[in-house]
Amino acid sequence: MLSSLHKQLLNNYQQDFPLSPTPYLDIAEQLGVTEDEVLAAFQVLSEQQMISRIGPVIAPNKVGSSALVAMAVPEVELPRVAEQISRYSEVNHNYERENRFNLWFVLIANDERHLQAVIEDIEQQTGFNAMLLPMLADYYINLGFELNLND
């Protein structure tokens, strides 16, 4: 069960995370708790897999090179391959889709050469081909969600 602090952290800091040398202290002061309580709460949320990371979302191809990638992976292999892909620091997120191409992920690298090298390594390590899907148009989708803090 989520504590009030957990809910506030999830609700209030999906966006507008403080950009300062002491963001966790800033959050603590805003919420009236200690910095250690904020850090411990984020640790619990991470351990419970309610958050996977704290970091920026950078518009595609504004810094470095990025690509949407799709793979056709037999269902029995999907958990293994998804776990392997998630280990790459260049992978922003991956998810299953109902399609022949059932595993999709976003890859971000410092340049096109590095991006291609990671794709080749993923193909070699997983045993499956990757299909790069270039961005033709830029759409913004707000992936934030609001929690009911009264529950």
The structure tokens listed for 62 are 């504004």
Average the pLDDT over 99-120 and give the result.
Answer: 94
Residues 6+ apart with CB under 8 A from 107: 66, 67, 69, 88, 90, 91, 92, 115, 118, 119
Query: Tokens for 126?
Result: 């997983």
Residue 83: what pLDDT? 95
Residue 50 in this model has a pLDDT that exceeds 90: no
- Structure tokens that stand for 21 in this block: 């040398």
State the pTM of this model: 0.60
Please report, rounded to a whole number, the percentage of residues in the chain having pLDDT higher than 90: 62
Give residue 125's Cα distance to chain centre.
21
Of the chain, the percentage scoring pLDDT greater than 70 comes to 87
- Per-residue pLDDT, 141: 65
